[in-house]
């Protein structure tokens, strides 16, 4: 029986890899930090909690209101589908946060490039 449980958990871990899942703090999803750490896949449209973290996500993250049709438990992992507004809002928050971070990173890189003379037509000696 334990061997079956291990096989299921290994399959879930492989699925995380195949779906480009990212391990994130629930704060990055706009949720209470006490909800813990989850895996998300923007491409697949889900948030997954593993083991004891399921209770924390449901209680502190408000996922207790996700309907049974929008969640699936496999082994020690529960997947919450973005068909639920709560889940889709959290994934959208994360996606927007990532877009903002990429823009800030690009601006910072441009400032460094300009300062290093990689854009000589924009160079200002006052920098």
Residue 17: the pLDDT is 94
Furthest C-alpha separation in the chain: 71
Tell me the pLDDT band of 104, cut-offs 50, 70 and 90: confident
CB 40 within 8 A of CB 48: yes
Answer whether residue 103 shows pLDDT above 60: yes
pTM here is 0.81
pLDDT digits (tens, 9 = 90+) for 1-48: 889 989 999 999 999 999 999 999 999 999 999 999 999 999 999 999
Residue 126: the pLDDT is 54
Find the range with the poorest average confidence among 74-78, 82-86, 94-98, 101-105.
101-105
Residue 52: the pLDDT is 86
């Amino acid at each position: 029986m334990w061997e079956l449980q291990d096989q299921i958990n290994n399959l879930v871990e492989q699925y995380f890899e195949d779906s480009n899942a990212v391990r994130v703090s629930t704060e990055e999803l706009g949720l209470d930090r006490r909800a813990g750490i989850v895996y998300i896949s923007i491409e697949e449209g889900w948030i997954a909690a593993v083991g004891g973290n399921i209770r924390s996500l449901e209680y502190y993250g408000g996922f207790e209101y996700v309907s049974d049709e929008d969640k699936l438990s496999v082994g020690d992992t529960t997947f919450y589908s973005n068909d639920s507004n709560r889940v889709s809002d959290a994934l959208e928050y994360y996606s927007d946060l990532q877009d903002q971070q990429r823009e800030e990173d690009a601006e910072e890189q441009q400032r460094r490039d300009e300062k290093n003379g990689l854009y000589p037509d924009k160079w200002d000696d006052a920098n």
